[in-house]
Structure 1
């Protein structure tokens, strides 16, 4: 009884009630996620029990951080002033604020889970930076007044129940001494210190099933863990090999393809890719359309029965159609990184969002050397996700809404605003795809008049929550869901092509259409390979008949393939290769998250590197999407380590910089 009184003195009654309330509500959210993913989560008695137990421990750790300020207040506040007006104001305010924060975080977790099937991660941290877009998106996607009212009503209900149970009365009316307050205060401080010093968010990941791992976590704790650790050192967290060895491995593969290393004595991949057939170089205009969240499964060509991509399905028979193509990552900035730098995904944040990511060797540099103008089009404000700074800092002219910050003052590329009179529809993420395509055509007309070939990188926005678009364009009402957004996206591409075909520059213009990533990427396994499968099409290619390309490849290979089709002799710092010339044993795709780095081979074998210096080998079953464990292959392991380690090394040590390659910016 004495120990009970020491731990639960009356002065701490409200604090313990607050802790209990949080744990109960957090457990309810955890159970909601379990039932939500009932077909995917491992619900065996032992696994589900451990999931809830680990979750409980993380809840205790999380709530301890919130409890410390009030525990210290209770510890030092003199007994003679218990229940004073000041004491009551502080206590009521702190308790109410704590409840609002917890309830809001639970609501936010549910919406985040709906989108990403994850607890909070570095994406949620990024969203704090871009509050305008995120808040506007939430407002357009959810009934905010109703939800806010619900949070406030639930807060009021919890306050009422707390008062009715006499919790406030016991907190204010007691004779708890300073000595009695030491033990509960020390308890919260100790628990918080243990979690701060010794417990990592990834310690919750004790299961093979990814959903069990995520459900075992606590949202708020995951958020602050992501805030601290959104970049990972490859050499500190992943399996590595000697630097000279990994570069020798990668460069040996380039030599096998006929490439000539320009600095063989250095740890670089910079090389010459020659025109082996000595054919004349072609220099058509190139418009690259990077489509937001376009999964392959949306196309009838890949088995869909929804009929939401009639344009793309018709183009599949009149283009170079890549049927076995995989996104490198799970976010737009990952797609941009893969496409522009032609590099395997580096752990942590995308290079697009990192510091020191300007003046790099990109596909834009290859176009520049061939005399092209380069433009980056985005229907929103390009400061979002650091896109303007990245593209502008790497030689692209910027065309966007122009309402946010551009980039640092040292960047000299131009910026063109998309004006209000050029916009017929706009939501949180940007203008409708149809409007951005009209701007692309307008800028192309100007470039054609100037007589200079152009390369345009166009990033769309319409296939994104809240899934709104101009009414009357398709037969699915705006805002009704993903299917409508996909169908409008497809419709806008069709309209763009019809308008472009009437232009004088069209006959000499290649149009490439590819997704930035899939609409969803989460699964119950380490990497959900099927959710990296994307479509890719090249239209209007000179001297190249339409065909389906079934060879396995990833986003990094699309532009090296184009350069080969154009008979270009060029120097390259790109990891990608010509898909059409790949031998069966060379087929591969890099797929990853911010922590898991995977390599998929043409025979559907997969290896995954994890950030605890672990590696796992699997056989991917395309029919069931299962990853079946395999014995580790040392040759395969060396290949995956070499590619990812060299990519990380090059960025970290300046090997992607133009000046390190003897090039002027």
Structure 2
């Protein structure tokens, strides 16, 4: 058998992997979410450098195949070697099953996984040892299973990349890593959102056919097992490519430098992107981003936040009027883009109640979410703090006893609660809110009778609002004001909700239906709330946690961060429109101003109704950190990168000027150094303050 034939399992699987990669890239290029046109050089890079990257990634992931093939032999079953090996395997199995091993120290599912793996290995070795007549047949089926496993994983990865692109418009990123942690919710979401049985049935049929073809072309390896010398040659070639891959993959990733963000994403290898997201889940700002000397950066910050001094944001907020301790209900709506509402140009009448409520509220028309995940929105309204590089503070280990919205209300004698229709364990919400003094009301607090409809994310919004009314009625009896933060769940894929509530069936799995049902449930909540004795003494703050989608042509497409926000309190808050630029981090300091609260503040967020407020907005992903100001978007990114875009409004005659959200984002030729310094000042000081634990609550 020639050396090339001895590599047949590798190159046949490689050919299949490359075919899947090509097909996937073609689908993604023409996917509706890929809102871009490509120049010739982009196409060349996507299908040359991209496929070259795929080759080297395959070399790395085929390491398990190399280990499996290199240990196939007949000599290890000879007497007495075979019996010695079998005896050692049995002893190891007994030890891990009944002894106190390092696996037990780690706990969780690891001991069971270790025992299962060693048990299978022992059983298979025993069969091959004691049934020599069937050894070739057993080996053939084992070989077939290994090939099938690789084929199914290649197909599964291709499908997963497609659906991830369908949801986010990018290859795997930090969100994909998070999804691995919350397998119950995520798998349940997939089960409820997509035709899983037909999809996986087709997947297994295709995998079986491909496996049959690859095994047919590769079985010569096990029919004529390479000699020891040949295995040394195979290993030498493989390990050389393996080592080269460690250099080639990051080198090729660095070539993903097109001005077209979609081209960079399509060129990238999804598996490598997943690895990068995994290892970079927490980004050290001072290692990866452009910085300024600390004394300079705080001087810059103090110019933007009046009353601050030294290396801190601590300042005194003093009201000249008497404090008003009204109840406060904060509602953050899941995935609710501004353009769902009529005033922002939507013509489908999806949000009739919220459209009407906005006319009776203090409406913030130029309002931006800081991020593209729920935890970012929760972080923003709770800590009033800019989004920092890496994971949200909500999900970090050091997430407790922070200076928060809740801590201010606690100082003023309020009952403080976080309410969520799902399990607050998800996204670490329970740990974060409980660790910052909030009481938790989530799905675990519901009785079976209180849940009329639920999907994988939890009880529907109507059930959550019904529960909230009961809780607030009980709180009102305590003669203390209450602050309750409600997080909705229904406007999330799979977009299922009770039938016969709106004119879109609850099992249609329609985003429009999810939006419309969310509006319907809120209407019912306010209808119930208005009948309660505490209603007249309550202020309602309503905003989205983030937009429905974050994909766009640039790193931070600003229309994908524009969300609705309003403060409603009939008889107390006069209906009006506030049109200046602002962020989620400003909503609660503005509310505190409306309530005439006096307090010591560490918030980066500001009362936007004060005369010294300088309009700006923060928007970010987990690594691209942006500041919008003076119609310029400044973005700082890892590797000390800085980009700036001039924002030019795309005028829409059908929409009022205050509600137009679409801008052309054209790269600035001459850098606005003042805005670069200001952007750095916000994000560098925020990272510094967190790192030095200076954002703890004031006692």
TM-score of the aligned structures, taking structure 1 as reference length: 0.91
Distance 1:183 1:212, change over 3 A: farther
Cα deviation for residue 280 of structure 1 reads 1.2
Is 1:633 aligned to residue 672 of structure 2? yes
1:271–1:571 contact (8 Å) kept in structure 2: yes
Is 1:657 aligned to residue 657 of structure 2? no
Is 1:67 aligned to residue 62 of structure 2? yes
In structure 2, the partner of 1:109 is 161
1:296–1:534 contact (8 Å) kept in structure 2: yes
Distance in 2 separating the partners of 1:558 and 1:270: 18
More displaced 10-residue stretch of structure 1: 48-57 or 327-336:
48-57
Cα deviation for residue 502 of structure 1 reads 0.5
Cα deviation for residue 380 of structure 1 reads 0.3
After the TM superposition, which residues 22-101 of structure 1 pair with which residues of structure 2 at under 5 Å, given as runs? 22-37=17-32, 40-78=35-73, 84-85=136-137, 87-101=139-153
2:617–2:628 contact (8 Å) kept in structure 1: yes
Cα deviation for residue 536 of structure 1 reads 0.2
Quick one: which of 265, 272, 277 aligns to 1:214?
Answer: 265
Distance in 2 separating the partners of 1:101 and 1:501: 54
After the TM superposition, which residues 453-472 of structure 1 pair with which residues of structure 2 at under 5 Å, given as runs? 453-472=481-500
After the TM superposition, which residues 145-160 of structure 1 pair with which residues of structure 2 at under 5 Å, given as runs? 145-160=197-212
In structure 1, the partner of 2:236 is 186
1:380–1:400 contact (8 Å) kept in structure 2: yes
Is 1:271 aligned to residue 271 of structure 2? no
Distance in 1 separating the partners of 2:595 and 2:464: 27
In structure 1, the partner of 2:221 is 171
Gaps of 5+ in 1: 403-416
SS in structure 1 of the partner of residue 477 of structure 2: helix
Is 1:446 aligned to residue 474 of structure 2? yes
In structure 1, the partner of 2:119 is none
SS in structure 1 of the partner of residue 9 of structure 2: helix
2:174–2:277 contact (8 Å) kept in structure 1: yes
1:42–1:212 contact (8 Å) kept in structure 2: no
SS in structure 2 of the partner of residue 579 of structure 1: coil
Distance 1:195 1:369, change over 3 A: farther
Cα deviation for residue 307 of structure 1 reads 0.4
SS in structure 2 of the partner of residue 287 of structure 1: strand
Cα deviation for residue 209 of structure 1 reads 1.4
After the TM superposition, which residues 245-644 of structure 1 pair with which residues of structure 2 at under 5 Å, given as runs? 245-255=296-306, 259=307, 261=308, 264-265=309-310, 267-275=311-319, 278-402=320-444, 417-480=445-508, 481-540=510-569, 543-581=572-610, 586-601=614-629, 603-623=630-650, 625-630=663-668, 631-644=670-683
Counting matched residue pairs gives 628
Distance in 1 separating the partners of 2:620 and 2:195: 34
Distance in 2 separating the partners of 1:539 and 1:274: 24
Distance in 1 separating the partners of 2:556 and 2:388: 15
SS in structure 2 of the partner of residue 306 of structure 1: coil
Distance 1:308 1:102, change over 3 A: same
Distance 1:38 1:97, change over 3 A: same
Distance in 2 separating the partners of 1:478 and 1:427: 11
Cα deviation for residue 356 of structure 1 reads 1.1
More displaced 10-residue stretch of structure 1: 31-40 or 453-462:
31-40
Distance 1:140 1:370, change over 3 A: same
Q: What's the CA shift string for 1:397-426, capped at 9, x where partnerless?
A: 000012xxxxxxxxxxxxxx1221111110
Distance in 2 separating the partners of 1:485 and 1:202: 38
Distance 1:464 1:202, change over 3 A: farther
SS in structure 2 of the partner of residue 545 of structure 1: coil
1:81–1:87 contact (8 Å) kept in structure 2: no
Q: What's the CA shift string for 1:7-28, capped at 9, x where partnerless?
A: x2x2221221011111111111
Distance in 2 separating the partners of 1:522 and 1:182: 48
Distance in 2 separating the partners of 1:72 and 1:136: 35
Distance in 2 separating the partners of 1:213 and 1:17: 28
Cα deviation for residue 633 of structure 1 reads 1.4
Distance in 2 separating the partners of 1:44 and 1:547: 47
Distance 1:591 1:279, change over 3 A: same
More displaced 10-residue stretch of structure 1: 90-99 or 166-175:
166-175
Cα deviation for residue 543 of structure 1 reads 4.0
1:64–1:189 contact (8 Å) kept in structure 2: no
Distance in 1 separating the partners of 2:255 and 2:421: 39
In structure 1, the partner of 2:288 is 237
Q: RMSD across aligned C-alpha pairs, in angstroms?
A: 2.1
2:388–2:683 contact (8 Å) kept in structure 1: yes
2:73–2:225 contact (8 Å) kept in structure 1: no
2:371–2:620 contact (8 Å) kept in structure 1: yes
In structure 1, the partner of 2:180 is 128
2:53–2:248 contact (8 Å) kept in structure 1: no
Q: What's the CA shift string for 1:136-189, capped at 9, x where partnerless?
A: 1111111111111111101111123234xx413432344744444445433443
Distance in 1 separating the partners of 2:74 and 2:370: 61
2:585–2:605 contact (8 Å) kept in structure 1: yes
Distance 1:198 1:575, change over 3 A: farther
More displaced 10-residue stretch of structure 1: 220-229 or 188-197:
188-197
In structure 2, the partner of 1:409 is none
Cα deviation for residue 84 of structure 1 reads 3.4
In structure 1, the partner of 2:277 is 226
Distance 1:538 1:103, change over 3 A: same
Distance in 1 separating the partners of 2:26 and 2:484: 48
Cα deviation for residue 608 of structure 1 reads 0.4
1:42–1:48 contact (8 Å) kept in structure 2: no
Distance in 1 separating the partners of 2:28 and 2:248: 27
Q: What's the CA shift string for 1:245-279, capped at 9, x where partnerless?
A: 21222123323xxx3x4xx44x211111111xx21
